[in-house]
Amino acid sequence: MGTRVATLRGSTDPFRNLAVEEWLLGRWSRKAAAAAAAAGVAAQEQVAGKGGKNGAESHAPRFGLLLYVNAPCVVIGRMQNPFKEADLAFLARQRIPLLRRRSGGGAVFHDLGNLNYCFVQSREDLDRSLNAQIVARALVTAFGVPASANPRGDILLDGRKASGCAQRITGDMSYHHGTLLVRSDLAQLWRTLSSPWSKVKARATDSVRSVVANLSDFVPDVTHQLVIEALAQEFWRVHGETSDLSVEEIALDALPKQEATFIADEAATLASPDWIVGATLPFSVPLHASFAWGELSLDLMIGRGATVVERVEQISVRCWTHREETREELAQAISNAWTGAPFSGAELAHLLVASDGEPSHGDCIQDIAAWIHDQVPPLPGL
């Protein structure tokens, strides 16, 4: 079978679903299938459900399309800084997970009103422009909306962004995946992706902010199933070898043990703090606070993996209710307490209070400690 279209049955777990994309890089690799066949190993793929097939496939597809939905989450690109891209404190309060995917690109918000698509194909067959055109043409043909693809591969509806994308190439395989705003909570989208630490300076990929729109803004009665059918039909029109469209449902709970273990292990890796936070490159963040007694400005220099404050720079204290020497004493106390300290609001607050040896400005120390405790967001994945 040269073309495959599949959906995921019953899974809205974003960690698990992103892991399925990695699994398909191997499962739908023609090179891997050929090697297995040469070794006398039948390539098994368990799929079940309406429109699906069971049993072995003789070879992997040349062109594959996976469609699925995730529960609410924020997904950042491989080379992004989570502190700059999302409001981590808000995510923690709302219990919305943050993921770092293996592809590049910018930060996106997923919810049950968003449809995810993933084109899986060989490195040599990867054509992002064609894939984007497939999505745009599907929307125009099925719903008559003013959909178009820009040079980055974003899908625009009357000039407003409804879909962003990214890609990953590994070995002889690739995937090009994206999101499509069908009926998403746009207020929640903006809330989760509006970081109070937007001034973070880092060697990281910055998201491109855009005006967005739901497909439902143009087609009020649209459903996920209608969009799935539209994308599948256009994909099949371009790549299908027969006139009979076949959409499979992958039942993850029915996969063989080896396949299920791979997906579970990959999902666990994607959910681990070592991946979500540990991949963060060194960065700095400028902070400013106003108190009844004065003002404080400083730059925190954070090391790789966002675990340690390497140093504190540009400390500026203005103090109009204490003696002149208080400014230098506070600056020195902050530098001494926080240099080399764990990057945690609670730890920074505790260390500053514990290091205070000057009762005359104890009120200032307490205020700064309370402020930094609330300034540093909880680390995602912990």
Q: What is the pLDDT of residues 241-298, one digit of tens each?
A: 777 888 999 999 999 999 999 999 999 999 999 999 999 999 999 999 999 999 999 9
Span of 103-112, 157-166, 316-325 with lowest mean pLDDT: 316-325
Q: What is the pLDDT of residue 37?
A: 62
Backbone angles phi, psi at 166, to 5 degrees: -155, 170
**Which candidate, 102, 85, 104, 72, places its Cα nearest to that of 306?**
85
> What was the pLDDT predicted at 48?
41
- CA–CA gap between residue 307 and residue 319 (Å, rounded): 31
Please tell me the least confidently modeled range out of 185-189, 299-303, 362-366: 362-366
The two tokens of residue 116 are 């995810």
The architecture that CATH gives domain 283-375 is 2-Layer Sandwich (3.30)
47 band by pLDDT with thresholds 50, 70 and 90? very low
Sheet with 173-181: strands ordered across:
165-170, 173-181, 114-122, 63-68, 3-8, 247-250
Q: What is the pLDDT of residue 189?
A: 98
CATH number of 3-276: 3.30.930.10
Structure tokens at 8: 């995921």
> 357: pLDDT confidence band, cut at 50, 70 and 90?
low
pLDDT surpasses 80 at 57:
no
Q: What percent of the chain has pLDDT over 90?
A: 80
Question: Residue 45 above 90 pLDDT?
Answer: no
User: Domain residue spans in the chain?
Assistant: 3-276, 283-375
Flag whether pLDDT at 40 surpasses 90. no
Average pLDDT over residues 3-17: 95
Q: What average pLDDT does the segment 192-196 reach?
A: 96
Provide the CB-side half-sphere exposure for 206 (13 A, CA). 12
> Which two structure tokens, joined as six digits, stand for 268?
């666990």
- Write a three-state SS string for 3-14: EEEEEECCCCCH
pLDDT mean across residues, the chain: 91
pLDDT score recorded for residue 242 = 77
Question: By C-alpha distance, which of 13, 4, 52, 17 is closest to 263?
Answer: 17
pLDDT digits over 130-159, tens only? 999 999 999 999 999 999 999 999 999 999
- DSSP assignment of 166-231: EEEEETTEEEEEEEEESS--HHHHHHHT--TTTT-EESSPPP----B--GGGT-TT--HHHHHHHH
Name the band, by pLDDT with cuts 50, 70 and 90, for residue 216.
very high
* Per-residue model confidence (pLDDT) at position 1: 55
pTM value? 0.89
- If pLDDT is split at 50, 70 and 90, which confidence band does 39 have? low
